[in-house]
Each structure stands twice: as structure tokens, then as C-alpha cells.
Amino acid sequence: MKIAIMGFGTVGCGVEEILYKKRKSLIKNNFDIQIDKILIKNTDKQRFPHQKDLVFTDDFDEVLNSDVDTVIDVTSSLEETHERIVALMNAGKNIVTANKAVVSKYFEELNELAVKNDVYFSYEASVAGAIPVIHPIMEEIFFSDMNKIYGILNGTSNYILSKMETEGLSYDEVLKKAQDLGYAEADPTADVGGLDAMRKIRIVSSLIYNSKINEEDIFTFGISNVTKTDFEFAKNLGYSIRLLAKCALEANNINISVIPTFVADDFFAKTFEGTNAIKVWGENFNSYEFKGPGAGKLETADAIMRDLLRILAKREIKTFYDATNSFEVENNIKHKFYIRTTEVTDGLKNIIDREKTSGENHMIVTKKVSLDELTSAIEKFDQVFISEIEEEK
Ligand code: HSE
């Protein structure tokens, strides 16, 4: 079976490494997978693949016009990759992708194209790295309604927050380490700004509700201005801070957000370093949890390999997502929030439960309010950090 790979960065190298190292056992199990070609941007760059006779090309048409039936996409570009995936699907090629930006932005179109062209569209690697999340959810959907998913879906921000907690380091000191470990995106603002986690919760929430959830409707607040002061405040209340992605269906409204959250030590998603954690609530089982490496070279490549084997063994789940449901997005569930701000307006005063000041900073715990109410109270603020408080102690 011949495949092509688009991209040869961290994850692409991981896929090549696994295919090379496991070649004998794959062949023994009738998975004779050969890499026909690898699409790269710069043919002058020196590369060190395990398989020395690999063919590299910078000409997309060579992949499009090749006889491979499955293409693995491990690129990080958005529009160019989207166009290429569309062309490949229209040419009858299955797609296995780790590119969450493309999957999230074009989820409806790509699912529709997969059905139209009768090809597989596999994207397990786009959410939570090595942890099998998409396939268990896809199987569950047939017989059990799921109404809520919470979790840590970004390894980089979890690495930063947990190191700030355990080693008392500053934000800038740990961001560099997360990049060196291969967790962070080429442009880490997608990680620390919450965009990466937003894309992942958009994918899983659209899937479980079979409803299109627009990226721009998801409340997204990252960790780029978290400080040691916030950790100290949280610690005094018995909490630490993690970046959570959440969606919950209540009274026909979808509450959906990516937001820093004060979490206690026994909270299921209080994980460390790059570990992701996802909890799913469904009608047949109350809830279950997944935990594991959510980013990294071999970790993400592992999820790609599983998609590839499912396709080759013809036991991949065919796309069924068609967004036939329609729910309003409204963040109306009430919580307490922590706010650090240098300004306090009348709108904010109305929702304060208690407050501490230190220099120019006001550290506020709000009354129970909805995220929508909180947003309107702070929307004009420049310097602000917020956290939802998972449970009041
Ligand atoms: N940058 C991502 C993360 C990689 O940190 O989780 C995995 O999607």
C-alpha cells in the first residue's frame, strides 16, 4: 500500500520513524505500507529520514496525480492545506490529518466532501495527541447522547501552567521549554492564546451535538498574561490554575469556552506537563475520562498510525457528521470567577463578591454569574486576567 505524507516537521518525522522501525511487524500483519513521496516546502534543507531512499518533492501535483490512495497531512498551514485536502479528496484520496486548524475551520465542508467522494476523512490526531478521543466518541454517538465534554486540550499551556505551579517559574521561562519539547505550535500564540484548544473543542463539540459550532462563537481566553500573583491568589484559596476547554448542552443552549480555571488537587483534569485530560458525559454511563500525552512527535504520530491502519484494514468509521442539528451558543451557566484587573468599573462592582488589592491590582472573586455577564462587565478592559472557579471551597 502506497501512501504520501504532506509535511516533514516534528510529527511527519515521527510517522516516518514509526513506519521504518515497525516495518517488519507491520508486514507480518499484512500492512505493507510504503511511503511513495513526501511533500515538503524546501528541497534544499538537509533531512535525516530513517529510510534513506525516500522521495521528497515540493510539487503538490506529484502527490495529487500519484496513485497513492491515502495521504497523511502533518502540515501546519491553514488555507494552503485546506485547498490541497479538497483537491486530494476530489481526486479520490483518503485523508489522515493532524491539522486541527484545517479540521476545525472546514469541518462541515471536509465531512461533506468525504461523503461525496466516498473517501475516509480521519482526524484522530487533531485532538489530544496520542489519546484516542475521536473514535470512542464517534462510536458512542450511535447509541448514547453526550451532553458535556470538559478537558485539557492543549499540552503547551498545561506544561507552562503546571511548571509555574510546581517550580514557581515565570511564564516566559517555561514557554521556551515547551517549545524545545516540541509541544508548541510554530507560532505559540495559538497555544497560549487558547486558539488551539478552541479548535479542538470546536471539533469534538460539533461532533457530539451534530451541530455546527462556529469558532468565533466560542469564548476563548488564554494564559498569555497569567502571573505568579494569580497562582498565589489561587493557592491561598486551595487551587491551582489550568486552561480548560468546556462544552455543555443545557436547555437547548450550548455553553462553550476555553478559559483558565481554578482547579483543586483532586480535580480530574489537574494534570502536569503535556498531559491532556478529557471527561465525557453520556446518557448510558454518566461519565468517563481519558488521560495521556496530548502533544509531541511520536505521541501524535501514534494517533496517525492508528487512523492509517483502520483505513488500510477497511475498518475506519465513515463520516456521518452532517450538522443537521442547530443549537444556540449561549454561556449562561453560572459560576464564580477570579478577575485580576487594574480598573474597577460600576459594571464590575455589581458582580463582586470579595476583593483584595495589591498595588494597582484588584484581585476579585465574583458572585455566581454567567460567562456572558462577566464578559460584558470586563469587555473594555485592557489588562485583565480571568479564571473560572471550578468549585467554591
Ligand atoms: N501545540 C499543541 C499542544 C500540539 O500544545 O497541545 C498538539 O495538538
CA atoms of 303 and 301, how far apart (whole Å): 5
Task: Specify the residue with its C-alpha closest to ligand 1, atom 8.
Answer: 295
Q: Report how far ligand 1's centroid is from the alpha carbon of 185 (Å).
A: 7
By CB atoms closer than 10 A (0-12, 13-18, 19+), residue 180 is: exposed
Please work out whether the CB of residue 151 comes within 6 Å of at least one atom of ligand 1: no
Q: Report how far ligand 1's centroid is from the alpha carbon of 154 (Å).
A: 5
- Regarding beta strands 219-220 and 121-122, do their DSSP bridges make them parallel or antiparallel, or are they unpaired? unpaired
Confidence of residue 270 (pLDDT cuts 50, 70, 90): very high
Q: What pLDDT, on the 0 to 100 scale, is given for residue 381?
A: 85
Say if residue 284's pLDDT is above 50.
yes
CA atoms of 303 and 222, how far apart (whole Å): 26
Contact 377, 353 (CB under 8 A): no
Q: What pLDDT, on the 0 to 100 scale, is given for residue 175?
A: 87
Q: Which residues are catalytic?
A: 200
Q: Report how far ligand 1's centroid is from the alpha carbon of 222 (Å).
A: 14
Q: What pLDDT, on the 0 to 100 scale, is given for residue 176?
A: 85
Say if residue 171's pLDDT is above 60.
yes
Assigned C-alpha cell, 321: 457528521
For 74-100, write each residue's pLDDT tens digit. Answer: 999 999 999 999 999 999 999 999 999
Helix-helix angle 79-90:107-117, to 10 degrees? 20
Q: Name the CATH superfamily, with its identifier, for domain 138-297+326-389.
A: Dihydrodipicolinate Reductase; domain 2 (3.30.360.10)
Within the chain, which residue ranges are assigned CATH 3.40.50.720?
Answer: 2-122
- The three-class DSSP label of residue 234 is helix
> Closest ligand 1 atom to the C-alpha of 295?
7
8-state DSSP, 217 = G
Say if residue 393's pLDDT is above 70.
no
11 marked ligand binding residue:
yes
Assign a CATH topology to domain 2-122. Answer: Rossmann fold (3.40.50)
295 or 96, which is more confident? Answer: 96
Within the chain, which residue ranges are assigned CATH 3.30.360.10?
Answer: 138-297+326-389
